[in-house]
Amino acid sequence: MENNTKRYWRGIEELTNNAEFVKYAHREFGDAPSTNEKGEALIDGTNTVRRDFLKVLGFGVSAVALAACEAPVKKAIPYLNKPEDVEPTIANWYASTFVDGGDYASVLVKTREGRPIKIEGNKASSVSKGALSARVQASVLSLYDNEKLKGATIAGKASDWATADKEIIAELGKVAARGGQIRIVSNTILSPTTKRVIGEFVAKYPTAKLVTYDANSASGLVQANGGVLPSFDFSKAKTIVSVGADFLGTWVSPSEFAGQWAKTRRVSSAEGGNKEMSRHYQFETIMSNTGANADYRSTYKPSQEGLVVTALYNAVAAKAGGASIAAPAVKVEYLEKAAADLVATKGASLVVSGSNDPAVQTVVVAINAMLGAYGTTIDAGNPVNYRQGSDSEMNTFINEAKAGQIGAVIFYNANPVYNHPRGAELAEALSKIGLTISTNDRADETGSLCKYNTPDSHYLESWNDAEPKRGHYSFSQPTISTIFKTRQAQSSFLTWAGLNGDYATYLENAWSATLGGKTGWSKALHDGIYEPGAGAAFNVPQTGLADAVASISKNYKANSDKLELAVYEKVTMGTGSQANNPWLQECPEPVSKACWGNYATVSLATAKKLGLDQEVELDTLEVEVSVNGKTVKLPFIVQPGQANDTVAIAIGYGRTKAGKSANEVGVNAYPLTSVINGNIAFSNTGDVQLKATGESAKIARTQTHNTVMAREAVVQETVLSAYKKNVEAGRFKPTISTAEGKKPSGEISLWNGHKYNNHAWGMVIDLNTCTGCSACVVSCNAENNIAVVGRQEVINRREMHWMRIDRYYSSDANVEDVKGLEYASENPEVVFQPMLCQHCNNAPCETVCPVLATTHSSEGLNQMTYNRCIGTRYCANNCPYKVRRFNWFRYYQTDEYDFQFNNDLGRMVINPDVTVRSRGVMEKCSMCVQRIQAGKLEAKKEKRRPKDGEIQVACAQSCPTNAITFGDMNDETSEISKLLAVEHKGRAFGVIEETNVKPNISYLVKIRNKEEKVEKKGAEAHAEPHHS
Amino acid sequence: MKRLKIVALTAVLSFVASVVSVKAQDAAEGEQIFKNNCAACHATSDEVLVGPGLKGISGRRPIDWIVKWVHNPQAVIASGDKYAVDLYNKYNKAQMTAYPNLSEAQIKGVIAYIDAQAAPVAAAATGAAPATGAAPAEGSSNGGMMQYIMIALLLVMVLVLVALLSIVSSLSKLANVSPDSPEAQQIPLFQRIAENGKKIATNSAFKTGAALLITLLIGKATIDAAYGVGIHQGYAPEQPIQFSHKLHAGQYQINCNYCHTGVYKGKGANIPSANICMNCHNAIKRESPEIQKIYRSLEKDEPIQWVRVHNLPDLAYFNHAQHTNVGGLECTNCHGEIAKMEVVQQRSTLTMGWCIDCHRKTDVNAKGNAYYDKLVELHNKDHKETLKVQNIGGLECSKCHY
Does the pLDDT of residue A558 top 70, yes or no?
yes
Least confident of A51-55, A640-644, B344-348: A51-55
Measured CA angle at B335 (ends B333, B336), to 5 deg: 75
Query: For the residues A895-911, what does the mean pLDDT come to?
Result: 90
* Whether residue B180 sits in one domain with residue B114: no
* Whether residue A233 sits in one domain with residue A205: no
Residues B399, B390: Cα–Cα separation, whole Å? 11
* Whether residue A393 sits in one domain with residue A379: no
Give a yes or no: residue B259 inside a domain. Answer: no
What pLDDT is stored for residue A913 in this prediction?
93
Q: Which of B233, B325, B398 to mutate to test the interface with A (most CBs of A within 10 A)?
A: B398
* Whether residue B114 sits in one domain with residue B157: no
Does the pLDDT of residue B339 top 50, yes or no?
yes
The DSSP bridge partners found for residue A564 are: A646
Bridge-based pairing of strands A735-738 and A741-744 is: antiparallel
* Whether residue A401 sits in one domain with residue A352: no
List phi, psi (to 5°) of A1006. Answer: -80, 140
Judge whether A735 and A745 are in contact, CB under 8 Å. yes
Contact A937 B319 (CB under 8 A): yes
Give a yes or no: residue A471 inside a domain. Answer: yes
Torsion angle in degrees (nearest 10) through CA of A785, A786, A790, A791: -150
Judge whether A768 and A274 are in contact, CB under 8 Å. no
Q: CB contact, 8 Å: A16 with chain B? A: no
Residues A874, A857: Cα–Cα separation, whole Å? 20
Q: Which of residues 905-924 of A touch B (CB under 8 A)?
A: 913-915
Does the pLDDT of residue A19 top 60, yes or no?
yes
* Whether residue B110 sits in one domain with residue B23: yes
- Alpha carbon distances (Å) from A289 to A178, A248, A741, A781, A803: 52, 7, 45, 21, 18
Query: For the residues A872-885, what does the mean pLDDT come to?
Result: 93
Query: For the residues A589-608, what does the mean pLDDT come to?
Result: 91
Q: pLDDT grade, residue A596 (50/70/90)?
A: very high
Number of folded domains in chain B? 3
Does the pLDDT of residue A711 top 60, yes or no?
no
Q: CB contact, 8 Å: A73 with chain B? A: yes
Give a yes or no: residue A651 inside a domain. Answer: yes
What pLDDT is stored for residue A442 in this prediction?
94
Give a yes or no: residue B132 inside a domain. Answer: no
What pLDDT is stored for residue A438 in this prediction?
96
Residues on chain B touching A858 (C-beta within 8 angstroms): 392-393, 396
Edge-to-edge, what's the strand order for the sheet holding A6-9?
A2-3, A6-9, A804-811, A829-835
Q: Chain B: give the shortest CA distance to residue A602, in Å.
A: 44
Give a yes or no: residue B125 inside a domain. Answer: no
* Whether residue A426 sits in one domain with residue A505: yes
Q: CB contact, 8 Å: A538 with chain B? A: no
pLDDT tens readout for residues B114-138:
888 877 554 444 443 443 333 343 4
What pLDDT is stored for residue A62 in this prediction?
66
Judge whether A509 and A465 are in contact, CB under 8 Å. no
Q: pLDDT grade, residue B19 (50/70/90)?
A: very low
- Residue B261: which of A75, A87, A865 has the nearest Cβ? A87
Judge whether A452 and A168 are in contact, CB under 8 Å. yes
* Whether residue A511 sits in one domain with residue A408: yes
- Choose among B210, B217, B203: nearest CA to B166: B203
* Whether residue B151 sits in one domain with residue B112: no
- Mean pLDDT, chain B, integer: 82
* Whether residue A280 sits in one domain with residue A197: no
Does the pLDDT of residue B162 top 80, yes or no?
yes
Does the pLDDT of residue A44 top 90, yes or no?
no
pLDDT greater at residue A877 or residue A55: A877
Judge whether B136 and B332 are in contact, CB under 8 Å. yes
Bridge-based pairing of strands A103-112 and A115-121 is: antiparallel
Q: Of how many residues is chain A composed? A: 1028
What pLDDT is stored for residue A488 in this prediction?
95
Q: Chain A: give the shortest CA distance to residue B232, in Å.
A: 8
Q: CB contact, 8 Å: B224 with chain A? A: no
Query: For the residues A808-829, what does the mean pLDDT come to?
Result: 68
Contact A930 B402 (CB under 8 A): yes
Give a yes or no: residue B250 inside a domain. Answer: no
Q: CB contact, 8 Å: B304 with chain A? A: yes
Measured CA angle at B216 (ends B210, B222), to 5 deg: 140
- Residue B397: which of A68, A863, A936 has the nearest Cβ? A863
Q: Which residue in chain B has the smallest CA separation from A78? A: B273
Number of alpha carbons in the 13 Å side-chain half-sphere of residue B34: 24
What pLDDT is stored for residue B43 in this prediction?
80
Torsion angle in degrees (nearest 10) through CA of A395, A400, A403, A409: -110
Q: Which residue in chain A has the smallest CA separation from B304? A: A77
- Mean pLDDT, chain A, integer: 89
* Whether residue A637 sits in one domain with residue A598: yes
Q: pLDDT grade, residue A763 (50/70/90)?
A: very high
Q: CB contact, 8 Å: B268 with chain A? A: yes
Residues A419, A577: Cα–Cα separation, whole Å? 9
Contact B274 A80 (CB under 8 A): yes
Does the pLDDT of residue A571 top 50, yes or no?
yes
List phi, psi (to 5°) of A878. Answer: -95, 0
Contact A945 B237 (CB under 8 A): no
pLDDT greater at residue B55 or residue A956: A956
Residues B86, A274: Cα–Cα separation, whole Å? 75
Judge whether A876 and A776 are in contact, CB under 8 Å. no
Does the pLDDT of residue B7 top 60, yes or no?
no
Residues B373, B116: Cα–Cα separation, whole Å? 38
Q: CB contact, 8 Å: B318 with chain A? A: no
Number of folded domains in chain A? 3
Does the pLDDT of residue A815 top 60, yes or no?
no
- Residue B262: which of A69, A81, A90 has the nearest Cβ? A90
Give a yes or no: residue A254 inside a domain. Answer: yes
Least confident of A242-256, A326-340, A469-483, B127-141: B127-141
Does the pLDDT of residue B268 top 80, yes or no?
yes
CATH number at residue B72: 1.10.760.10
Ramachandran area for residue B260 (φ above 0: left; ψ -120 to 50: alpha; else beta): beta
Q: Which of residues 438-477 of A touch B (CB under 8 A)?
A: none
* Whether residue B162 sits in one domain with residue B113: no
Contact B304 A77 (CB under 8 A): yes
The ipTM is 0.85
* Whether residue B149 sits in one domain with residue B102: no
Torsion angle in degrees (nearest 10) through CA of B378, B382, B383, B387: -10
| Residue B60 domain boundaries | 19-118
User: Which of the listed residues A357, A384, A411 is the one where a domain comes to its end?
Assistant: A384
Does the pLDDT of residue B236 top 80, yes or no?
yes
Q: Chain A: give the shortest CA distance to residue B42, in Å.
A: 24
* Whether residue B111 sits in one domain with residue B162: no
Q: What is the pTM of this model?
A: 0.84
Give a yes or no: residue A418 inside a domain. Answer: yes
Q: pLDDT grade, residue B73 (50/70/90)?
A: confident
Give a yes or no: residue A570 inside a domain. Answer: yes
Give a yes or no: residue B266 inside a domain. Answer: no
Residues B228, B143: Cα–Cα separation, whole Å? 10
What pLDDT is stored for residue A708 in this prediction?
46
- Alpha carbon distances (Å) from A813 to A17, A251, A1018: 15, 33, 7
User: Which of the listed residues A337, A352, A384 is the one where a domain comes to its end?
Assistant: A384
Question: Which of helix, strand or coil describes residue B168?
Answer: helix
User: Which of the listed residues B178, B204, B228 is the one where a domain comes to its end?
Assistant: B228
* Whether residue B175 sits in one domain with residue B111: no
Longest dimension (CA), chain B: 116
Q: CB contact, 8 Å: B322 with chain A? A: yes
Residues A407, A414: Cα–Cα separation, whole Å? 18
Q: What percent of chain A has pLDDT over 90?
A: 71
Q: Chain A: give the shortest CA distance to residue B337, in Å.
A: 21
Judge whether A879 and A885 are in contact, CB under 8 Å. no
Contact A78 B368 (CB under 8 A): no
* Whether residue A519 sits in one domain with residue A394: yes
pLDDT greater at residue A399 or residue A608: A399
User: Which of the listed residues A701, A736, A764 is the one where a domain comes to its end?
Assistant: A701
CATH number at residue A256: 3.40.228.10
CB contact set of A758 (below 8 Å; sequence gap of 6+): A858, A859, A970, B374, B375, B392, B393
Does the pLDDT of residue A114 top 80, yes or no?
yes
Does the pLDDT of residue A728 top 80, yes or no?
yes
Least confident of A253-262, A585-594, B12-21: B12-21
* Whether residue B151 sits in one domain with residue B72: no
Query: For the residues A681-696, what does the mean pLDDT come to?
Result: 91
| Residue A410 domain boundaries | 153-217+389-527
Give a yes or no: residue B302 inside a domain. Answer: no
Longest dimension (CA), chain A: 99
What pLDDT is stored for residue A41 in this prediction?
63
Q: Which residue in chain B has the smallest CA separation from A927? A: B402
pLDDT tens readout for residues B199-232:
878 888 888 999 999 999 999 999 988 888 888 8
* Whether residue A585 sits in one domain with residue A476: no
Q: Of how many residues is chain B composed? A: 402
Contact A78 B322 (CB under 8 A): no
* Whether residue B191 sits in one domain with residue B149: yes
Torsion angle in degrees (nearest 10) through CA of A230, A234, A236, A237: 110
User: Which of the listed residues B204, B228, B252 is the one where a domain comes to its end?
Assistant: B228
* Whether residue B113 sits in one domain with residue B23: yes
Give a yes or no: residue A516 inside a domain. Answer: yes
The DSSP bridge partners found for residue A856 are: A862
Judge whether A591 and A696 are in contact, CB under 8 Å. no
pLDDT tens readout for residues A202-225:
999 999 999 999 999 999 999 998
What pLDDT is stored for residue A696 in this prediction?
87
* Whether residue A360 sits in one domain with residue A441: no
* Whether residue B112 sits in one domain with residue B23: yes
What pLDDT is stored for residue B23 in this prediction?
55
CATH number at residue A512: 3.40.50.740
Contact B265 A861 (CB under 8 A): no
Give the helix/strand (H/E) hosting A339: helix A335-344
Contact A940 B297 (CB under 8 A): no
Q: Chain A: give the shortest CA distance to residue B83, in Å.
A: 31
Query: For the residues A433-441, what does the mean pLDDT come to?
Result: 95
* Whether residue A270 sits in one domain with residue A247: yes
Residues A746, A736: Cα–Cα separation, whole Å? 9
Give a yes or no: residue A763 inside a domain. Answer: no
CATH number at residue A610: 2.40.40.20
Number of alpha carbons in the 13 Å side-chain half-sphere of residue A1026: 21
CB contact set of A995 (below 8 Å; sequence gap of 6+): A711, A745, A844, A880
* Whether residue A690 sits in one domain with residue A640: yes
Give a yes or no: residue B217 inside a domain. Answer: yes
Give a yes or no: residue B371 inside a domain. Answer: yes
Give a yes or no: residue A146 inside a domain. Answer: no
Q: pLDDT grade, residue B96 (50/70/90)?
A: confident
User: Which of the listed residues B160, B195, B228 is the one where a domain comes to its end?
Assistant: B228
Query: For the residues A245-251, what does the mean pLDDT come to?
Result: 94
